[in-house]
Structure 1
């Protein structure tokens, strides 16, 4: 059985719109049914500068053997930058493949529920839990200005990220997103909070 859940192992058909009921995928061409591991996905989101990337190594050490930590920017390559929807779809397919090994995925990256929930690949997960790390405009602006030049954080891009930070704070309750403000919180204390949040939702 291939790890790409869209491809039927019986006839080789690629299903752009997978037929999923519970934890069973049915091939739309030949009707072949196969079970798969349907686990929750954890999206650690928020604006740049709020601490997502910092959490990656800390959480990886704490969760070794329990979950798989992935950083979404590793696939932010030229081939995908022009099509954000495809970028999100690729990440959901990747996470679904990883979860076939029996461990849930924690995906660290800037994402909001509307960008995942409408995708066909959403059916591969029992739930997607969202935790947004946010910060004060002053703290985020200072952190982003301090980043090295290769990361290309000019003032217009910083202001755009601050707008996303404000939007996320205001929209989180209606989107089912939990929020944690990292402005005056240490890295270790933030990692404690994120760890507890994830462990409370593990199957």
Structure 2
């Protein structure tokens, strides 16, 4: 179900109009009102090397009956690698994809690096009841070691590692003042399973068995 296309007249829009009652999408061309599911989006984010993809594998296994867990980088392809500072085309595509998945009735857990200023101003943000952000973090020295240990094809040279460490520190300093705030979870000394249980508890609002 493409929420950007009117079910009655077929008009396309890049700026969906959402009425709060229902909620309902309203076509600005013909006035058609289409009820839709407006669910929360859970963004498991953080600097590269903090464990998002690894944890995502367990989240997929443990939450598959209630949530759809997806890896953001799967769409980091040539056609979506725009040069805007906020990668708007890439971000908009993911929000549209997540909103369509939501129409099946299960919220999306999106694992990938993003911060509120890259999602919240987009027109597609109206398709979600809220977006919650949890950033995985770790000690700078540990993060650098993890990135150096990655396969050569991932191209983590020292300048790029230094850039990621700066980004990690920026998140740490600004997480609480972003809108909405970004919650932080330190993965420095936690096992993958421990981190995944903590993320599950954050998503579901309930302690995860074995955590």
Question: Same fold, TM exceeding 0.5?
Answer: yes
Task: Output aligned runs, 1:148-159, within 5 Å.
Answer: 148-159=151-162
CA distance in structure 2 between the partners assigned to 1:63 and 1:107 by the alignment? 13
Do residues 193 (structure 1) and 195 (structure 2) align?
Answer: no
Q: Match of 1:125? A: 128
Which sections of structure 2, spanning at least 5 residues, go unmatched? 207-211
Instruction: Please identify runs of 4+ aligned residues in structure 1 that moved more than 2 A.
Output: none
CA-to-partner distance for each residue in 1:9-47, whole Å, 9 max, x for gaps? 111111111111221000011110000000000000000
SS at match of 1:5: coil
Q: TM-score, normalised by structure 1?
A: 0.96
- CA drift of 1:82 comes to 2.2
- CA drift of 1:155 comes to 1.3
User: Number of matched residues?
Assistant: 199
Q: Match of 2:37? A: 37
Which sections of structure 1, spanning at least 5 residues, go unmatched? none
- CA drift of 1:133 comes to 0.1
CA distance in structure 2 between the partners assigned to 1:164 and 1:52 by the alignment? 16
Task: Output aligned runs, 1:77-156, within 5 Å.
Answer: 77-83=77-83, 84-156=87-159
CA distance in structure 2 between the partners assigned to 1:85 and 1:159 by the alignment? 25
Indicate which of 5, 8, 30 corresponds to 2:6: 8
Do residues 57 (structure 1) and 62 (structure 2) align?
Answer: no
CA distance in structure 1 between the partners assigned to 2:19 and 2:170 by the alignment? 34
SS at match of 1:122: helix
